[in-house]
């Protein structure tokens, strides 16, 4: 299913550009990221990230969707993990999901407030998830918009954190991950990510 999801480069530059330079060469950041709008549970990747709560025992939003699609074996494995602290991440199998693994991370409960704690915790969610991807030798992963639902992290700054943290991580770890998919669910997030990605992942 990954072949059906274009990279950010293909999305934007496949019709060619006047300057003719953008499509030459490889290894640009825009070849390693995608923007996808829809249900994360259908993605056939090495891993999908779950915006879990600290119990890791399921909840609403994307967490509920992932548990429903993965089946009760996911719940059983999660019960053995003793929860997870905010900003940290733990990995399980994907069970009935098309994804091989689920990385459960716990975003900050922001309730509309973005201070240093919320910012650092959300940044850590992305970093610790990517660290697990690397540790497990995985190469493709999708992230939902962590904390922006029930946890109330404002969408715009959450998008900045997601995109900039992933960008830095890819730059610092160039030989691990081949594709990170930003899986947005809402039109507002789609528009926010689209606008920011055209700046952050512009190769030239």
54 versus 79: smaller Cβ distance to ligand ADP? 54
Q: Please report how close the Cβ of residue 174 comes to ligand ADP at its closest, in angstroms.
A: 27
Q: Please report how close the Cβ of residue 47 comes to ligand ADP at its closest, in angstroms.
A: 14
94 versus 149: smaller Cβ distance to ligand ADP? 149
Q: Please report how close the Cβ of residue 145 comes to ligand ADP at its closest, in angstroms.
A: 4
Q: How far apart are CA 95 and CA 163, in angstroms?
A: 28
8 versus 151: smaller Cβ distance to ligand ADP? 151
Q: Please report how close the Cβ of residue 182 comes to ligand ADP at its closest, in angstroms.
A: 10
Q: Which residues bind ligand ADP (CB under 6 A)?
A: 39-41, 51, 61-63, 65, 107, 144-151, 183, 185-186, 189
12 versus 105: smaller Cβ distance to ligand ADP? 105
Q: Looking up tokens 């528009």, which residue turns up? A: 191
Nearest in space to 133 (alpha carbons), one of 181, 98, 86, 97: 181
Q: Please report how close the Cβ of residue 65 comes to ligand ADP at its closest, in angstroms.
A: 4
Q: How far apart are CA 162 and CA 158, in angstroms?
A: 6
Q: How far apart are CA 66 and CA 63, in angstroms?
A: 5
63 versus 118: smaller Cβ distance to ligand ADP? 63
Structure tokens at 96: 């009935």
Q: How far apart are CA 145 and CA 125, in angstroms?
A: 11
Determine the length of the chain. 204
Nearest in space to 183 (alpha carbons), one of 129, 151, 141: 141
Q: Looking up tokens 């918009």, which residue turns up? A: 145
């Amino acid at each position: 299913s990954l072949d059906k999801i274009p990279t950010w480069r293909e999305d934007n530059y496949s019709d060619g550009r006047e300057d003719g330079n953008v499509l030459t060469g490889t290894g640009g950041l825009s070849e390693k990221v995608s923007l996808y709008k829809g249900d994360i549970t259908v993605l056939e990747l090495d891993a999908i990230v779950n915006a879990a709560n600290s119990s890791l025992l399921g909840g609403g939003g994307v967490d509920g969707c992932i548990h429903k699609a993965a089946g009760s074996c996911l719940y059983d494995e999660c019960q053995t993990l003793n929860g997870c602290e905010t900003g940290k991440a733990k990995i399980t199998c994907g069970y009935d999901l098309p994804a091989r693994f689920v990385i459960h991370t716990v975003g900050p409960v922001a309730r509309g407030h973005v201070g240093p704690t919320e910012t650092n915790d959300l940044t850590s969610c992305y970093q610790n998830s990517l660290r697990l991807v690397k540790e497990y030798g995985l190469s493709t992963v999708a992230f939902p918009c962590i904390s922006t639902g029930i946890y109330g992290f404002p969408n715009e700054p959450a998008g900045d954190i997601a995109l900039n943290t992933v960008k830095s991580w890819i730059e610092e770890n160039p030989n691990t991950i081949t594709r990170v998919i930003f899986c947005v669910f809402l039109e507002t997030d789609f528009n926010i990510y689209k606008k920011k990605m055209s700046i952050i992942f512009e190769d030239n």
